[in-house]
Structure 1
Amino acid sequence: MKIALVGYGKMGHIIDDIATKKGHEIVARLNETPTKDNLNNPDVIIEFSNPEVAFENIKVGLEHNIPVICGTTGWLDRKSEIEEIALKNNTAFLYGSNFSLGVNLFFALNEKLADLMKGFPEYQVQLEEIHHTHKKDAPSGTAISLAEGIIKNDDRFDAWKLDETQNKELGIFALRQDEVPGTHRVSYKSAVDELEIKHTAFNRNGFALGAVIAAEWIIGKKGNFTIKDVLFDK
Structure 2
Amino acid sequence: MKIALLGYGRMGKEIEKIALQRGHEIVIKSTGENTYDINEADVAIDFSVPASAYNNISNCINNNVPVVSGTTGWLDRYNEIIDLCNEKNGGFIYASNFSLGVNVFFELNKQLAKMMSTLEQYNIAIEEIHHTQKLDAPSGTAITLAEGIIENTNKKAWELDGKTSEDNIPITALRTPDVPGTHTVTYNSEVDTIDIKHTAHNRQGFALGAVIAAEWLLNKTGVYTMRDVLNLG
Question: Which band: TM-score by shorter chain?
Answer: over 0.9
CA contact (8 A) 2:65 2:90 kept: yes
Aligned to 2:6: 6
CA distance in 2, matches of 1:32, 1:101: 28
Letter in 2 for 1:111: K
Q: Percent identity?
A: 54
CA distance in 2, matches of 1:33, 1:62: 21
CA contact (8 A) 1:163 1:172 kept: yes
CA distance in 2, matches of 1:34, 1:45: 16
CA distance in 2, matches of 1:231, 1:34: 34
* 4+ aligned runs moved over 4 Å, structure 1: none
CA contact (8 A) 1:127 1:187 kept: yes
CA distance in 2, matches of 1:177, 1:190: 28
Aligned to 1:50: 49
Letter in 2 for 1:210: G
CA contact (8 A) 1:6 1:34 kept: no
Structure 1 residue 165: deviation in Å? Answer: 2.4
CA distance in 2, matches of 1:163, 1:233: 31
Question: Cα RMSD over matched residues?
Answer: 1.4
SS at match of 2:78: helix
SS at match of 2:11: helix
Structure 1 residue 39: deviation in Å? Answer: 3.0
Aligned to 1:102: 101
For 1:1-234, what aligned pairs fall within 5 Å after superposition? 1-32=1-32, 37-39=36-38, 41-155=40-154, 157-167=155-165, 168-232=167-231
Structure 1 residue 40: deviation in Å? Answer: 5.3
Letter in 2 for 1:73: T
Moved more, 84-93 or 174-183: 84-93
Letter in 1 for 2:157: A
SS at match of 1:137: coil
CA contact (8 A) 2:124 2:187 kept: yes
CA contact (8 A) 2:39 2:65 kept: no
- Cα offsets for 1:135-175 (capped at 9, x unmatched): 000000000000000000111x1111111122311111100
CA distance in 1, matches of 2:151, 2:33: 36
CA distance in 2, matches of 1:140, 1:34: 28
Letter in 2 for 1:224: V
Matched length: 232
- Tell me the TM-score normalized by structure 1: 0.96
- Return 5+ residue gaps in structure 1 as ranges: none
